[in-house]
Structure 1
Amino acid sequence: MTARFPTARPRRLRRTSALRRMVAETRVRPEDLILPVFVKEGIDEPRPVPSMPGVVQHTRESVRKAAEEAVDAGVGGLMLFGIPESKDDRGSAADDPEGVVQRALRDLSSDVGTDIVVMADLCLDEYTSHGHCGVLTPSGEVDNDATLERYASVAVAQAAAGVQVVGPSGMMDGQVGAIRTALDQAGHTDVAILAYAAKYASAFYGPFRDAAEGAPQFGDRAGYQQDPANIREALREVELDIAEGADMVMVKPGLAYLDVVAEVAREFTAPVAAYQVSGEYAMVEAAALQGWLERERVILETLLSHRRAGASQILTYWATEAARLLR
C-alpha cells in the first residue's frame, strides 16, 4: 500500500530565513517606533529609574543626546514627559513657557525637529501636587471641565515651544475638542493630536509612576481611565475623539489589550498607536536578568505582535535599541 503524502506543504516557505523574510505578512520598521523620554528639572546628571532598568530621568542636556541617538537609529518619534522641580494643585508648571518640557521642546525642535517627530504628553499628573490628571473640586473629585481649560493652555504652550504632536492622556471628556479649538485659535493649525483614546485603568503602569513621579496622593484614576473589562466603550471613546479632531488615536497598554488594538484598527481609518507600557518593559527586563527569556527575541516579538494587531505606531522604551536591531 502506497502512503499518501501531502501535496500542500506550507513548510516550503519556512525553510530558510531568506524565504521567511520574503513572505512575511507583518514587519516592524524603525520609523514605526516612538521613544518615550522623561526629562527632569533640577538634576545635574541622568537619574536611573530603579523599576525600569536602562531607563533614566534625563537632564536637559542628556535628553538632547538621547534624541540624537534615536535619530541615528531611525526611530520615528519622541514623546516627552516632564518632571518639574515644584508642583501645585493646578499643575502650573505644565504650561509655563519656561517649564521643563517647553525648554526641552525648544531644544529638540532646533536639534532634530526635521529628522524625527517631536511629541509631548499633555496631562497634569506629573505637575500636580496631588498626582491626579486634572484640577480638583473642593470635595477632591477631578473637575472635568475646569481641567479642559488647563489642557487647552498646556497645548498652546507646547505648540509655541515647537511641538509637532500633542498627546492628551488624561481621558477627560471633550479633551480633544478643547485642545483642537485652542490650537486653531492660537494659529497652531499644523500641530497634530495623538489622542490617548482608550487608556485603561491598568496595573501595568506602576514603574511609569516611579519614572514620572506622578502617583496619585490619594484614591486612584479609575474614575476617568477606562474599565479593563470593556471594549465597546473603547470604540465609543475613539469615535468621539476622531469626531473632535484627533489625527491619531492610541490604545494603552498594548500587550494585554491587543484585542482592543485590533478592533480599533478594523473599525477606524485613522492611524492607531499602541503604548508598550512600563510594566510590560519591566517584566521582560526582570525575566531576562534571571536568564529566563531571550531578551532581544522577546523585544522584537512583542513589537511584532503590536503591528500584527494593527498598530501603526508603537511607543516603547526599547525604541532606539529595537530600531538598531531591526536595521
Structure 2
Amino acid sequence: MFCLLQQTRPKTIWEKDGLKGKVKEARTYSADESTDKETKGRLIKITKYDKNGTSKETCYYDSTENLNSKSIYKYDEYGNCIENYSYEYKNPSKKDQNDSDFTNIDEEGRHYKGGLAEKRTPTYDANGRIVEWTIYEYTDKRLKKKHLTKETIKYDNQGNVVERKSNERLGDRHTFKYDDHGNMIEKSFVSGGKLRRQYIYEFNNNVNLTIENEDIYFQKDKVGRKKFYKYDKKGKMIESNEFFSSGGHPLRKTYKYDENGNLIEVCVYNRNLGIYYYKESYQYDEKGNKTECIQTDGRKTPLEIRRWFRESDPDGEFWEYEYYEE
C-alpha cells in the first residue's frame, strides 16, 4: 500500500478506497450459493472508518464467519500513511481473564486468541514521497529473527515510481517505465535475478490504454496474453478483446454504464460463437457506492475464463454502508 503526499488537497481515506460520502462502516458479503445468487450470503469483511478520515481498520472473516485477521491503517493530516498493522487470530474461545492473549473485538461477543503478525512503517523524503517501507514480522508477540524486511522506492524527475526493490533473499525488484505524458508503458518483475513477469502498454492520443501485453516467464518457456481496448466518446471503456498465447478461447468483454457513469454490466463472450459465458451486474446506492455484484454464467464457464476474469467472490458480492451524519 503506497500513499503519496498531495500538493493540493490530500485525498481522504474514502477517496483512496473509491468511496463516496463519509462512510462509517462498510460490510462485504458473498452471494448466497444455495439460492439464485441474488441474496447476500456469509460475511467476508468489515471496514470501519473514523469520522476525520485519518484511520481505518478492516476485519476479515473465514468461511464460518469467524474472525481471521485484521488490518489497521493510520494517516496524518496530509493523507500520508504513518502506521500499518496486521493481526492474525485463531478460532473463538471462551475468554480466560488471566490470559491477556485473548482480545474481545467481535461484535457478536466472541473472544479470539491472536496478536500482531506484521507492522509496516514508511520513510518519506523531502518531497513527501515514500522512499522506504520497513516491514516487521512477529510470532507470539515477538519480532522474528532475521525477519525485518525493507522495500526501497525510487522516483524519476516527474515523481513517477521507477523501482521498488526488496532486501529479501530473492531480491524481488519491480521496475516501471513511462512515456513523455506520464503513462506507464512497461512494468517488469524480477526475482532471483530472473525476469518473471512483464507488461507492455500502448495508448491512443496519450490518454486511453489501447493495447496490453503480458508475459509470464517459467524455467523453460513463457505464456502470455494480449488485450485490445475500445472506448466511447466520453473515454469509457466499452469493449476489450483478449488473446492467449496458449491458444485458449479468445475472450470478448463488453461494458455498460448508467447515466451517472457507473459501470453496471460486464459480459464475457466466446469471440468465435458470439454467446456470453459470463456476466457481472452491478447496483449502487444513492451516493454512488457499489452495493451489489451479481455473477451469472450464460454457459458452463471454461476454467481459463474464471482464472483470468474473476477477481471477486466466485458467485458475487454485496456491500452495505453506514454513513456519518453530514
TM-score by length of 2: 0.28
Q: Which has the higher contact order (CA 8 A, sep 6+)?
A: 1
TM-score by length of 1: 0.28
Return the structure number with greater helix share: 1
Larger radius of gyration: 2
